Amino acid sequence: MSTILKALKKAEQENPDPENPNRSSLKLNVRTILNSRIRNQRQGFSLNPKGGIFFLGLLVVIVLVSYVLLLPDMTVQPRPAIEKKQVPQLQEIKQKEPVQMPQPLSKPAPEKKDEIFPLKDEILSIQAISWAKNPSDRIAVINNKIIGEGESVQGYRIVEIGQDEVILRLADQKFRLIFKYQ
């Protein structure tokens, strides 16, 4: 503890308080500490206002000169209007008459209608027909199965359901299955 007392006495002798000589000078003088720090900071880089204005002006001049000299001409030229090319009129080419007159075309052959054969097999039998104007609403009961147009039964495809008959297709042949009222 004696070393601390010696240090305190030494501090009092070195830095006495000029305002109050009776008090010991142990308090820190904040103003002197701040002033010394400010002086240390100013020693690093100092720039006076005239130098700053000169530096900024020089920078602006350099940028403008480089813009004018280095960048190409930026003016936009308008595109010329599209000119329509006039197509020269072609002269009509006259054809010579043929030496022989062509024979008239023959009449087209009559279209073959698919023959519809009656179905003689006892494999299929119709129990009921529900006919409607709309083909998708038509149904028939064949061999106790409800079937619409486009569906198949035992290899036969239903082509059309009429009011009292059903037209079937097997391979390339059409067959007619007639509904018999009982």
Q: Which two tokens stand for residue 164?
A: 């009292």
Phi, psi of 147 (to 5 degrees): -135, 140
Asked, for residue 129, whether it belongs to a domain, the answer is: yes
60/126 same-domain check: no
Domain residue limits at 168: 116-178
| Domain end marker among 40, 71, 102 | 71
Asked, for residue 6, whether it belongs to a domain, the answer is: yes
10 Å CB burial of residue 19 (0-12, 13-18, 19+) is exposed
pLDDT tens-digit series, residues 77-110: 778 778 777 777 777 777 777 677 667 777 776 6
- The tally of domains found in the chain comes to 2
pLDDT tens-digit series, residues 28-82: 555 566 666 666 665 555 667 788 899 899 999 999 888 888 776 666 777 877 8
pLDDT tens-digit series, residues 15-27: 655 555 555 444 5
Which residues make beta-bridge pairs with 130?
Answer: 139
Give the pTM.
Answer: 0.39
pLDDT tens-digit series, residues 111-160: 666 688 888 767 888 999 999 999 889 999 999 999 999 999 988 999 99
